[in-house]
Amino acid sequence: MNERSFTPPEGAGGRPAMLASAVKVFAERGFHGASMRQLAAQAGVTQSNFYNYFPGKADILLAILREAIAAQMALTQQAIDEAGDDVVDRFRAGITAFVRYYVDNPEVSLVATSELRYLEGDQRREVVAERDREQQIFASLVSEGAASGVFQTPHPHEATLAVLTLCSGVTVWFRPGGELGPQEVAQQYARFALSLVEVRA
């Protein structure tokens, strides 16, 4: 896995390069700390060229969040679908893939988890709806496991929220080159998540 959604091919220009550059600026400066001038300079284009693709900063942030959520959800669902019938295996695989996206895409993930607050109106509602769909993937697994007695949590909804909050927290501290590699971190978080849903011994 890699930052394929936001790393354009070598020599590429246009929208992919602009989004990749915007991710770097937003990750370093935050949404409010970044100007269109800085975004354009990072991408190596003029401000007017940037405005041809994106009317404003919020539109850039929305595009980043759309692509990040879609990529993370696709990887997560694929892992679940390939894990077989056992709900524990599917939950573990889903969490592993979900966290792996975060650690493989640290700048994108930091922006996606910290800058949503700056979207308003329909833009914010769109992203929240997509995140609700992402949450439902795990809510369904936790409900299935609880109904069968494999997961013993008496609070499936709250447990799902706790799991997702736990997973998003990896964006705060993970940096490439640390003591734990990406897959080790993802598998560790899957173990933490299984503890939260109280897997039957």
Instruction: Tell me the pLDDT tens digit for each residue of 4-57.
Output: 455 544 444 588 889 999 999 999 999 999 999 999 899 888 888 888 899 999
* Total-model pTM: 0.89
Instruction: Tell me the pLDDT tens digit for each residue of 136-166.
Output: 999 999 999 999 999 999 999 999 999 999 9
Helix then strand count (H, E) for the chain reads: 10, 0
- Amino acid 5: pLDDT: 54
- Amino acid 6: pLDDT: 57
State how far the Cα of 152 lies from the Cα of 44, in Å rounded to an integer.
54
Helix axes 57-81, 87-104, angle to 10 degrees: 150
Q: Which residue has the higher pLDDT, 91 or 12?
A: 91
Q: How many CB atoms lie within 10 A of CB 10?
A: 5
Q: Is the pLDDT of residue 3 over 80?
A: no
Pure H helices in 118-181? 121-148, 156-168, 170-173
State how far the Cα of 54 lies from the Cα of 153, in Å rounded to an integer.
45
Read off the tokens for 177. Answer: 């080159």
Please choose, from the candidates 139, 145, 181, 140, the residue with its C-alpha nearest in 3D space to the C-alpha of residue 161.
139
State how far the Cα of 111 lies from the Cα of 28, in Å rounded to an integer.
9
Q: What is the mean pLDDT of residues 103-118?
A: 93
State how far the Cα of 32 lies from the Cα of 51, in Å rounded to an integer.
18
Measured CA to CA in angstroms, residue 102 lies from 18, 135, 156, 183, 192 at distances of 21, 15, 24, 11, 16
Domains along the chain?
64-196 (1.10.357.10)
State how far the Cα of 38 lies from the Cα of 72, in Å rounded to an integer.
28
Average pLDDT of the chain, as a whole number: 91
Q: What is the mean pLDDT of residues 169-183?
A: 89
Phi, psi at 56, each rounded to 5°: -165, 180
Helix axes 156-168, 87-104, angle to 10 degrees: 30
Q: Is the pLDDT of residue 201 over 90?
A: no
